[in-house]
Amino acid sequence: MTVTAGVTAAPRRRTRRGAAFRDAGPPVALVVIFGIFAALSPQFRSVDNVQNIVDAAAVLAVVTCGITFVLMMGSIDLSAAGVMGAAALTVSLLVANNRNDNDFGLLGILVAVLLGCAFGCLSGLALVLLKVPSFMATLGVSAVGLGVATLLFAGVQPNISDTMLKGWAIERFLGFSYLTWIAAACVLVGWLVQRYTRLGRYAFAIGGAEEVLTLSGVRVKPYKIAVFALAGAFYGLGGVMVTSQLGAGLVQAGDGYDFSAITAAVVGGTLLTGGRGGVLHSAVGVLLVMVLTNGLVQVGVSPYWQGGVEGLIVVAAVAAAVIPQRRRNQVVK
């Protein structure tokens, strides 16, 4: 036989150490930024404020949980705003409210979440059947969601009087509002799905090497649709939570959550190209973004500058995470 140009190969474990470093970045950044603000403002480090930060993170955490699965596949989802608006209106019209005599309670909430799920399915179907890139498919679905929400709104704001749903935002358990616990449960569920279900693992794998799955005889399409549906359900729940917070169904319930959620997920270490990151990463990212938003108000940065400082810090955070692994001839899109 041929003697080829090599004899043994020393296993190279460098990648693994790189991965550990990468995963540690966002939590370290979280601690550092928290430390800086805590040093600058005594108000910031009060227990009340920490509770406040965590409470304020609840909705974003749920939405980010959903979007993480989509990002893991390497797709993108901009439908959160529309889906949340539609879900908010739906739930506020189905639980006890001032517009009609409905009082379905939990069932109403379930319907709103399922509606979110259905919108997610629509995005997935447009991606899989019509082959429309997810960026555009979800943008379209978002517009449809807003339209549906506006139809349901019909000119009069539905205020909810359902004590359970209103209680979610007000009642507290161990110092945190029920919404926060719901968000924590969502993160846990998200993590379990990601770690222990075929859906979660395949979403991860699709981001890693979609064509390999096809070659291994996995039918990828249903999983893609399911992932979008799962994300839609999370947005639906997010819409319900916003409704609980505001005590009313707003068409604008989801305004801005799409880009915030993507920002949070990316800051947490989920790659836009897919195949890396996860729900726990995103949870850290959400806290990071919330600490930043809250901290800037606490140290008294002018409201004009807040958006700018946030943008700068997000870029800096990603740059800090990226620079250690910079190589020449690296592809960055």
CB of 325 to other proteins, least distance (A): 9
Q: Which of 65, 76, 241, 283 binds other proteins (CB under 8 A)?
A: 76
- Taking the least distance from each CB to other proteins, the nearer of 107 and 167 is 167
Alpha-carbon dihedral sign for residues 191, 196, 199, 203: positive
# binding residues, other proteins (CB under 8 A): 126
Q: Which of 54, 169, 241, 287 binds other proteins (CB under 8 A)?
A: 169
| 40 is a contact residue toward other proteins (CB under 8 A) | no
- Taking the least distance from each CB to other proteins, the nearer of 26 and 145 is 145
Closest CA to 238 of 135, 117, 105: 117
CB of 106 to other proteins, least distance (A): 21
| 173 is a contact residue toward other proteins (CB under 8 A) | no
Q: Decide: 127 and 136 in contact? Cβ < 8 Å.
A: no
Q: Which of 63, 250, 261, 279 binds other proteins (CB under 8 A)?
A: 250
- Taking the least distance from each CB to other proteins, the nearer of 66 and 274 is 274
Residues in contact with 50: Cβ distance below 8 Å, sequence separation at least 6, in sequence order: none
| 86 is a contact residue toward other proteins (CB under 8 A) | no
| 307 is a contact residue toward other proteins (CB under 8 A) | yes
Q: Decide: 138 and 78 in contact? Cβ < 8 Å.
A: yes
Binding part of the chain for other proteins, among 24-32, 181-189, 231-239, 319-327 by CB under 8 A, reads: 319-327
Q: Is 248 helix (H, G, I), strand (E, B) or coil?
A: strand
| 20 is a contact residue toward other proteins (CB under 8 A) | no
Q: Is 112 helix (H, G, I), strand (E, B) or coil?
A: helix
| 248 is a contact residue toward other proteins (CB under 8 A) | yes
Closest CA to 183 of 87, 17, 56: 56
- Taking the least distance from each CB to other proteins, the nearer of 48 and 101 is 48
Q: Which of 205, 261, 265, 288 binds other proteins (CB under 8 A)?
A: 205
Residue 326: C-alpha distances to residues 263, 266, 320 (Å):
21, 17, 10
CB of 198 to other proteins, least distance (A): 5
| 280 is a contact residue toward other proteins (CB under 8 A) | no
Binding part of the chain for other proteins, among 24-32, 106-114, 180-188, 239-247 by CB under 8 A, reads: 239-247
- Identify residues 55-74 at the interface with other proteins (CB under 8 A): 55-56, 73-74
Instruction: Give CA angle at 314 (190, 88), nearest 5°.
Output: 45
Residues in contact with 201: Cβ distance below 8 Å, sequence separation at least 6, in sequence order: 194, 195
Q: Decide: 63 and 80 in contact? Cβ < 8 Å.
A: yes
Tokens of 190: 């998200």
> Using CB under 8 A as the criterion, what x/- string covers residues 99-138 for binding other proteins?
---------------------------xx--xxxxxxxx-
CB of 130 to other proteins, least distance (A): 4
CB of 199 to other proteins, least distance (A): 6
70: burial class by Cβ within 10 Å (0-12, 13-18, 19+)? buried
DSSP-assigned states of every residue in 250-265: -GGGGTTHHHHHHHHH
DSSP-assigned beta bridge partners for residue 176: 173
- Taking the least distance from each CB to other proteins, the nearer of 108 and 207 is 207
